[in-house]
Amino acid sequence: MKVCVFAASSSRIDPAYFTVATELGKAFAQEGIHAVYGGGGIGLMGALADAMITAGGNITGVIPGFMQKEGWGHEEVEDMIVTPDMSERKKTIFALSDAAVALPGGVGTLEELTEVITLKQLGLFNKPIIIVNVNGFYDHLITFFDHMVRGNFMRLEHKDIWQIVTTAEEVIPAIRNYTGWIADPKVIARI
């Protein structure tokens, strides 16, 4: 199984977030889950990759050429796919993955998460999406999603597109216990 992980590239965040990224990388390696991620060498991306490599796991980085030229890629990730731009990076990551996991992150992580949610809403990514809400990091986003539902910008059924967990230990069971969403999401995509 290949699982994409969206995560922060910042190295100046609360250590609790690094702990979760490291725990997730170790758990993936132990369970034989192949991680696919943005290819970065620092922040939560770097912590995930470091943990995967240290534990003997399989990880694929997908990074745009300009980021690779800047030296932002993880130097020890052997399977590194270089794309021409950010859009191709996401398309490649989504195409390679059997599930998506969002760790805490900045606008790039948010953009990846909302795009994969949109794709699932349209029936183009019919796979598990797990939001790891460490220390309430995603509370405001979840509240905003609820606001969208109350305002009829999304259907109540759309809240079942993603699953929310709070620890790394819950991620793999959430993926494995996923039973699917709506057989034909396009039926309810239009409000």
Tens-place pLDDT, residues 77-94: 999 999 999 999 999 999
So what's the pLDDT on residue 88?
A: 98
CA 66 to CA 89: how far, in whole Å? 12
Exposure of 105 in the CB half-sphere (CA atoms within 13 A) = 29
Q: What is the pLDDT of residues 29-60, one digit of tens each?
A: 999 999 999 999 999 999 999 999 999 999 99
Q: What is the mean pLDDT of residues 150-164?
A: 96
So what's the pLDDT on residue 128?
A: 98
So what's the pLDDT on residue 54?
A: 98
pLDDT averaged over the chain? 97
pLDDT score of 191 more than 80: no
So what's the pLDDT on residue 130?
A: 98
Domains and CATH numbers, the chain: 2-189 (3.40.50.450)
CA 82 to CA 70: how far, in whole Å? 13
pLDDT score of 186 more than 90: no
Q: What is the mean pLDDT of residues 102-122?
A: 97
Helix %, strand %, coil % of the chain (to 5): 50, 15, 35
So what's the pLDDT on residue 85?
A: 97
Percent of the chain exceeding pLDDT 70 equals: 100
- pTM, 2 dp: 0.96
